Structure 1
Amino acid sequence: MIGSGLGLGLRLLNRRFGSETGFQIRIILSVYDLPLSDFYCTPSIISNLSFSCFSSVASPAKSSDSNPFIVDYLVEAFGLSKTQALAASKLRMGMKDSKKPESVVHFLRQLGFSEAHVRGAVRVSPQILFSKIEKTLKPKLKLFQEIGLTGSDLGRFISKNAGLLTVSLDRRLIPCMEVLKKMFTIYGGHRSLILVLQRCKWVLTSDPEARLLPNISLLESHGIVGSQLSALFRRQPTLFLMRESALRDQLRRVVEMGVSADSRMFVHALHTISCMSPETLRGKFELFQGFGFSEEECMTMFEKMPVLFRCSEVKLKFGIEFFMNVIGFEKMVLVQRPMCLMYSIEKRVIPRYRVIEILKSKRLLKKVPIFLHVVELPEKKFVDRFISRFKDDLEELLVAYKGAVLDSSEEDEST
């Protein structure tokens, strides 16, 4: 998976080079014209490049191999470390003044970048200071402006993702952006596209023909299309950057969990499976089994509500104990209605339980409701039915309900 690849890669580089690995990775990949997404997804890329190559590129430059003027300029004007400045200056040995980088800074300021945005962008990717404005920076930034990133919003985004300005415009940025625009034009719009880029900028750095398009086709072949596809992209963009074989393995795991591709839960099951290792999922099953649930019952719950298994073990344990030990639910109720465990116990379940207990103690209910139905009621209906109409006891009921005055537009709360 992408996360494991990144972790392994960073551990190896940390072991070899120390604390400047983030900058060194960018330098190495730019020298060898390698997309960073491939580094993320394929830890073996490290073994394909000799450590002598890493040393020559990423090790701190000797003073004879650097430009002292540029080093001092980068350190004093932008707060780069000496190691970063030395490495960046190696590629600018002949530069004797700061006219070029200052023109870039001026250009960025004209676009609405603050001083903090400019400094942040340079720290992330010093090489942008030496880029050609008209040929390189302007057309790349225009791509982001076209999807609604302008002014300070653009500055904020680039200050964290300046490495995108060093990616090939024609081979990477434009083809990838076209794929994303097509996906989000109908479902989600530019706002959703921006959220995806903020979460996973590397979606713009790999060859779309190699990863993005094949993975989209594979997901569509499993019934994940339209709004489901775009929603999955927003929630788990790294799925779309996996090797196709790795994505097939994730899909296989979903099917093995008993979720049919025809089920509307299939996409949610895939999201859940991709978020955790088999060992972590097994741990969630074992937690339920500790309360007497069988393997088959756990599988049924996963099939009905796969998102439940993304909850923390603390939340799951608290919910199971409250519903079974305090309220007295049989475990089969939770098997059939696992959504109950998704609700906030502190903010939803316990307050409603207190209200019902008060009404029962005062004999104000003609018929005691099934608590499962009470929990599932939208907020407005619960308040109207069990609080507002009891005028004489309104204050006590509201106190029991934590004094919350609920807006009628609020719907089910699941966190």
Structure 2
Amino acid sequence: MYAMTPPFSVSSRLNPPPFLRIHPFFSSFFSSSSSSSSSHTQPPSDSNGIVLQYLIDTFQLSPASAVSIMANRRGLKSTEKPRSVYKYLSELGLSDTQIKSAIRNTPQLAFTSIEKTLKPKIEFFQNLGLVGSHLSKFISKNSKVLSCSLEKTLMPNIEILKNVLAKDKCNAGLPTVLRRCSGILMRSPDKVLSVNISYLRSCGVVDYQLPMLLKRQPALLITRESRLKDFVSMAIKAGFSINSRMFIHGLLSISSISNATFKKKVELICSFGITEKECMRMFNSAPVLMRTSIDKLEVGLEFFMNEAKVSKSEIVRKPSCLMHAMHERVLPRYRVLEVLKSKRLTKKLPKLINSLWKSDEDFLDIYVRRFPDNMDDLFEAFRGNSVGALQPEELAT
């Protein structure tokens, strides 16, 4: 055990005790001039040095974080509290790595009362359906929720979420929402969550749409009210009517990208001869298009309009074609249709865009297996260089 010495004085900075001397953070602190005494970071006393060392070694806290958390615990000499917290979390099923992650995210957790604070909150989450490995992952990544008041914050927010998910009698959707956005539990329920829900309802978002919004993008419900109003305004400007069922989908897409990214996507689409008005029509019929990456949009537009010679009007009418996987879906079907065309195997060649919505099996039945004399060539066209493709004998079944 480290030898105990009197409390630090300014002069003792030149000769720090062993438990501090081994860490670069403390070494730099003690080697600094006395003029740095005005710093907000104060050295701990020898009496809690063992606790400080335990926090650093066990939870891998940075020296700065360890000093900060010990600032209000200067007389603490025992490691009993953090040891018991470690043991309790371990018994819940958290791995050593998960425990360290939880404490690094919320250092004060190491000194929290298990019976009075931690256990009631853990049981609260378990009753909501977060159990086993799901609970372990949730705590390790979102330990800050354990520092929130159970009665004033966690419980009221959960009640609001349950009201939104009213038809979800077994609370099956709650764990998903919490895993996607634990922050939804940490805001003032009366000032954030309930206010935003009321605003969305005033915009025409009806009760059956709110659960979908909550499950897909819970963070939207705890954004600043002014920011939420901006998103709604942008959705309306993009052509989404608040009385339309597509409004909620437009809101989801618009809120997931920045204004700059949205502008770049519009500019890219318009560079292919599509007007801005037509671009907005595309977004209105397929809101998810706004979340498609710029690179994917560019590759799709280049292929459909310049290689496959799909007309602009067809792209505008069915923009979802730009969201299909190019190598896994679009190109195999394009190659098959090209073989059909070159061999004149059918009088009425289907449009590429229309073929994209068929399942692989349906496509193979209609455009490959239907022509046994040319099946090998059609199969090779379909397969291309894709990995794990069906073999000719499998196509014949």
TM-score range, shorter chain: 0.7 to 0.9
Structure 2: distance between partners of 1:218 and 1:65: 55
Structure 2: distance between partners of 1:280 and 1:188: 39
CA positional deviation for 1:251: 0.7
Matched AA of 1:284: K
CA positional deviation for 1:104: 1.9
Matches for 1:193-212 after TM superposition, within 5 Å: 193-212=174-193
Structure 1: distance between partners of 2:327 and 2:172: 33
Candidates 123, 131, 151, aligned match of 2:112:
131
Pairing 1:361–2:342 present:
yes
**Counterpart position of 2:81:** 100
Matches for 1:148-187 after TM superposition, within 5 Å: 148-184=129-165, 186=167
RMSD: 2.4
Pairing 1:383–2:364 present:
yes
Matches for 1:34-183 after TM superposition, within 5 Å: 59-64=40-45, 67-183=48-164
Pairing 1:394–2:375 present:
yes
The higher relative CO (CA closer than 8 Å, separation ≥ 6) is in: 1
**Counterpart position of 1:218:** 199
Structure 2: distance between partners of 1:237 and 1:65: 47
Matched AA of 1:81: S
Structure 2: distance between partners of 1:356 and 1:260: 39
* Structure 2 unpaired stretches of 5+: 1-36, 392-397
Give me the TM-score of the superposition, normalised by structure 2.
0.82
Candidates 261, 269, 280, aligned match of 1:288:
269
Q: 1:254 to 1:178 in 2, by over 3 A?
A: same
Q: 1:187 to 1:301 in 2, by over 3 A?
A: farther
SS at match of 1:206: coil
Matches for 1:215-294 after TM superposition, within 5 Å: 215-294=196-275
Candidates 388, 404, 407, aligned match of 2:389:
404
Q: 1:278 to 1:156 in 2, by over 3 A?
A: closer
Range with greater deviation from structure 2 (183-192 or 327-336): 183-192
Structure 2: distance between partners of 1:333 and 1:66: 76
SS at match of 2:72: helix
Matched AA of 1:79: Q
CA positional deviation for 1:301: 1.3
Matched AA of 2:286: M
Moved over 4 A (4+): 187-191
Range with greater deviation from structure 2 (59-68 or 112-121): 59-68
The superposition leaves residues 55-91 of structure 1 with CA deviations (integer Å, 9 ceiling, x where unpaired) of x9x9533234983122111012221111111111122
The superposition leaves residues 182-201 of structure 1 with CA deviations (integer Å, 9 ceiling, x where unpaired) of 33353596454223222321
Matched AA of 2:333: R
Range with greater deviation from structure 2 (222-231 or 235-244): 222-231
Matched AA of 1:155: S
State whether residues 266 and 276 of structure 2, in contact with CA within 8 Å, keep that contact through their aligned partners in structure 1. Answer: yes
SS at match of 1:369: coil
Structure 2: distance between partners of 1:178 and 1:262: 28
Matched AA of 2:380: V
Structure 1: distance between partners of 2:127 and 2:284: 41
Question: Between the two proteins, what is the percent identity of the paired residues?
Answer: 43
Structure 1: distance between partners of 2:47 and 2:329: 62
State whether residues 109 and 147 of structure 2, in contact with CA within 8 Å, keep that contact through their aligned partners in structure 1. Answer: yes
State whether residues 153 and 189 of structure 2, in contact with CA within 8 Å, keep that contact through their aligned partners in structure 1. Answer: yes
Greater radius of gyration (CA): 2
Structure 2: distance between partners of 1:226 and 1:387: 46
Give me the TM-score of the superposition, normalised by structure 1.
0.78
Answer 1 or 2: which has greater helix percent: 1
Structure 2: distance between partners of 1:370 and 1:161: 49
Q: 1:372 to 1:187 in 2, by over 3 A?
A: farther
Structure 1: distance between partners of 2:322 and 2:208: 26
Q: 1:240 to 1:380 in 2, by over 3 A?
A: same
**Counterpart position of 1:409:** none
**Counterpart position of 1:300:** 281
**Counterpart position of 1:35:** none
* Structure 1 unpaired stretches of 5+: 1-55, 407-415
Structure 1: distance between partners of 2:288 and 2:369: 33
Matched AA of 2:352: F
Aligned residues: 351
SS at match of 2:209: helix
Structure 1: distance between partners of 2:317 and 2:228: 30
SS at match of 1:340: helix
SS at match of 1:300: helix
Q: 1:106 to 1:200 in 2, by over 3 A?
A: same
